[in-house]
A = this chain, B = another copy of it.
Amino acid sequence: MLSVEEARERILAQFSPLPAEDVPLAQALGRVLAADAIAQEQLPPFANSAMDGYAVRAGDTLGASEASPRRLRLAGEVPAGRVYAGTVNAGETVRILTGAPLPDGADAVLQQELTRAGDGWIEFLSEAPTGNNVRAAGDDIAPGALLAAAGMEIGPAEIALLAAAGIHPVRVMRRPRVAILSTGDELAPAGEPLRPGQIRESNGPYLVAAVLRAGGDPVHLGIARDREDDLRAKLSAAQDADLALTSGGVSVGDYDLVKQILEEQGTMNFWRVRMRPGKPLAFGLLGGTPLLGLPGNPVSAAVTFELFGRPAIRRLLGCREVERPTIEVVLEGEDIERADRRHFVRARLESRGGTLIARTTGAQGSHLISSLQGASCLLVIMEGEGVVRQGDMVSALLLNDALPWGNA
């Protein structure tokens, strides 16, 4: 049986980044950058005023105060979006609005609250030193600055940066096509009545949602019955996919046909991983398409998708980090025994006084879909002997998409 690390290595070795494509900036949210986004323009593009006030030569305001104001001739006005046609000469000032380009000749702005206006003149009640209320060109973003790195997911802040820097369209990775097939005679699709002996299909809907959140483009192929012809027919629709995910049919039973088809008609790379839940995990190639055969138990399917399926999708997307962060947290609530297989325990995290604390979601049977309820991490209980006790530090693999900390 493979270790979790060996299985992950063998899977990731079969995937490499997909081609890039251009999308309008308005459609780039959630996509992954295909190349470093480099600023071509500086931001701001020109020196401009941080305030509504008066542009001036700093030297003309030397010594100005409430008691001894400096009176300057009002030569004109420059609102945001316009350019002052002339030059601010000695003894002159120009009305300037926030964001407007600093006129030639001027090197400072005094906010209007510190001035007094008269008929054709402005009195400065305070000095405006050189650079006062002036935002220098390139102050925010210099040309050539890295706005966001290749392999990074585009969130609202990146949208703002790319928009401000004029990067449009945006070069992003093509979304991986992920075919999803549930298997088993016992599965009833959503909206149909349960026949005796049936349960509802939940792995398909779960995987569609999880693939979407991972940045993939899911196609649900439905449910294959426990007959080789049906399974083969349904799997043939996965031949154009970048990844096929099945659930069920990979254990030791007589009807475990996914495993059988992969062995007989494809190339089985491995089967079974030393972990709990999720031991019966099959991976191989079928007609050139990588096929990850997840176990049928809902929790096993969810955990193995997280550990192996999501990283494969992130590799296809060219992400730098294909895995979510693992952090150290303090265990609370109950002790957890180690075993000869690595155990991934569903848990909730909370922050208390700067410390992260984890409590399990309760009973952890691999058929207990309720153990996923509110889970925000998987506690990683390494193989071995003994017990992880309350108060001990334990590793936690975060389950959510956006993280409250950087990956740096």
Contact = CB atoms under 8 A, between A and B. Distances in A.
A62 interface: no
A165 B200 contact: yes
A163 B205 contact: yes
Contacts of A184: 80-81, 99
B402 A185 contact: no
Contact of A163 (B98, B190, B375): B190
Contact of A97 (B139, B213, B254): B254
B160 A44 contact: no
A98 to B, nearest CB: 6
B208 A367 contact: no
A13 interface: no
Given A164-B298, A351-B356, A100 B404 contact: no
B185 A351 contact: no
A97 B253 contact: yes
Interface residues of A, number: 111
A370 B200 CA distance: 48
Contacts of A255: 79-80, 97
A165 B356 CA distance: 32
Interface string A348-360: 1111011110000
Nearest to A328: B354
A140 B368 contact: yes
- A interface majority secondary structure: loop
Interface in A124-165: 135, 139-141, 145, 147-148, 155-165
Which among A148, A159, A160, A330 has the highest number of chain B CB atoms within 10 Å?
Answer: A160
* Chain copies in complex: 2
B185 A79 contact: yes
A351 B327 CA distance: 7
Given A190-B168, A197-B82, A355-B355, A348 B405 contact: yes
A199 B45 contact: yes
Nearest to A205: B163
A19 interface: no
A83 interface: yes
A318 interface: no
Nearest to A152: B374
B376 A405 contact: yes
Which among A156, A351, A396, A401 has the highest number of chain B CB atoms within 10 Å?
Answer: A156
Interface in A325-383: 325, 327-330, 348-351, 353-356, 365, 367-370, 372-377
Contacts of A367: 44, 50, 135, 139-140
A270 interface: no
A165 B393 CA distance: 35
Interface string A387-403: 00000010010111111
A251 B212 CA distance: 41
A201 interface: yes
Given A164-B202, A168-B191, A328-B351, 9 more contacts: A45-B194, A79-B226, A97-B254, A160-B302, A160-B372, A163-B206, A327-B351, A354-B355, A400-B403
30 contacts: A24-B190, A25-B190, A25-B205, A45-B194, A45-B198, A52-B253, A82-B197, A98-B251, A98-B253, A99-B186, A100-B197, A101-B197, A135-B367, A139-B367, A140-B368, A156-B302, A159-B206, A160-B202, A160-B203, A160-B205, A160-B206, A164-B200, A328-B351, A354-B355, A356-B356, A376-B405, A377-B404, A400-B402, A402-B402, A403-B404
Listed from nearest, the 6 A-B pairs whose CB atoms lie closest are A81-B185, A400-B402, A81-B186, A349-B405, A160-B206, A163-B202
